[in-house]
């Protein structure tokens, strides 16, 4: 596998950092990947490296405003999230072509669903550790002081602001996914996204869709989703 740090330009002219995982025996399939709130592309590295070892090219981005990442800038609006993934999609198409999927963890999963919905040429999506109805749940967690929502790690929107803005447009995005396969993954020990929330998102989603549960907490759900994501991809893209 060849691993390269690349700098991508969004339509708005912002610079986005990404890790480009190029497999030794490519299948002609690329996944553009987005991490969760306050994290960076390195959080998804175990999943991305594993999929690349099986022939899938990955372009994993740092969202703007995330202080642990390399993109810099500010996260001013949820459209900054989809603009960053759009830049990764454009890079994938310009450099290798083939089939493209959008994949994300937590906040990145919501962005991946919206990115896929807005671009009919994206083949499908993978949503890991996110759900529906999260604004109320996050408000309750914050009020109890039970979870650190890590706003200090992001220059811009707080996590409740991200999910509130996203939820207002999520139903329309889900409708636009009809006819394209989406894998929804829930984590058994997820303290941020309840099983009911993950199942509600799946229930509202159109066909074709697949639901899987992995033994993990919220933070490490990407790494522990390796087997189910690989199986889902291999079902659609078997080795010739």
DSSP-assigned states of every residue in 189-219: E-SSS-HHHHHHHHHHSPSSEEEEEEEEEST
Q: How far apart are CA 123 and CA 56, in angstroms?
A: 14
Q: Rounded to the nearest 10 degrees, what angle do helices 226-236 and 45-53 cross at?
A: 40
pLDDT at 148: 64
pLDDT digits (tens, 9 = 90+) for 1-14: 999 999 999 998 99
Q: In what order do the strands lie in the sheet with 209-217?
A: 2-9, 15-22, 57-61, 29-34, 99-105, 124-128, 182-189, 209-217
Do 153 and 90 touch, CB atoms closer than 8 A?
A: no
Residue 136: per-residue pLDDT = 58
Residue numbers in the chain where pLDDT is lower than 50:
none
Q: Three-state DSSP class for 126?
A: strand
What predicted TM-score, i.e. pTM, was given to this entire model?
A: 0.95
Instruction: Note the pLDDT tens digit of each residue in 20-33.
Output: 999 999 999 999 99
Maximum separation of any 2 CA atoms in the chain, in Å: 53
Q: Tens digit of pLDDT for each residue in 38-71?
A: 999 999 999 999 999 999 999 999 999 999 999 9
User: What pLDDT sits at residue 178?
Assistant: 98
Closest CA to 74 of 64, 82, 83, 84: 64
Residue 53 confidence (pLDDT): 98
Specify whether the CB–CB gap between 75 and 67 falls below 8 A: no
- Give 143-148's long-range contacts (Cβ < 8 A, gap of 24+): 146/191, 147/191, 147/192
Question: Residue 77 has what DSSP assignment?
Answer: S
Bridge partners (DSSP) of residue 177 are none
């Amino acid at each position: 596998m060849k691993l390269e740090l690349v700098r991508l330009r969004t339509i708005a002219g912002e610079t986005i950092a990404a890790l480009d995982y190029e497999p030794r025996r490519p299948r002609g399939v690329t996944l553009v990947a987005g991490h969760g709130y306050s994290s960076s592309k390195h959080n998804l590295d175990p999943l991305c490296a594993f999929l690349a070892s099986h022939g899938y090219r990955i372009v994993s981005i740092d969202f703007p405003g995330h202080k642990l990442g390399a993109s810099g800038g500010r996260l001013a609006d949820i459209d900054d999230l989809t603009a960053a993934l759009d830049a990764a999609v454009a890079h994938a198409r310009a450099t290798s072509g083939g089939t493209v999927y959008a994949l994300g963890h937590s906040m990145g999963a919501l962005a991946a669903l919206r990115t896929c919905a807005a671009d009919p040429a994206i083949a499908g999506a993978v949503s890991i550790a996110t759900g529906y109805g999260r604004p109320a749940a996050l408000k309750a967690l914050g009020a109890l002081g039970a979870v650190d929502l890590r706003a200090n790690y992001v220059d811009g929107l707080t996590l409740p602001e991200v999910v509130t803005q996203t939820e207002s447009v999520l139903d329309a995005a889900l409708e636009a996914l009809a006819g394209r396969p989406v894998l929804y993954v829930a984590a058994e020990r997820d303290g941020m996204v309840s099983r009911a929330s993950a199942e509600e998102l799946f229930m509202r989603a159109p066909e074709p869709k697949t639901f899987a549960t992995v033994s993990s907490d919220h933070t490490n759900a990407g790494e522990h989703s390796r087997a189910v994501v690989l199986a889902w991809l291999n079902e659609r893209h078997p080795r010739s």
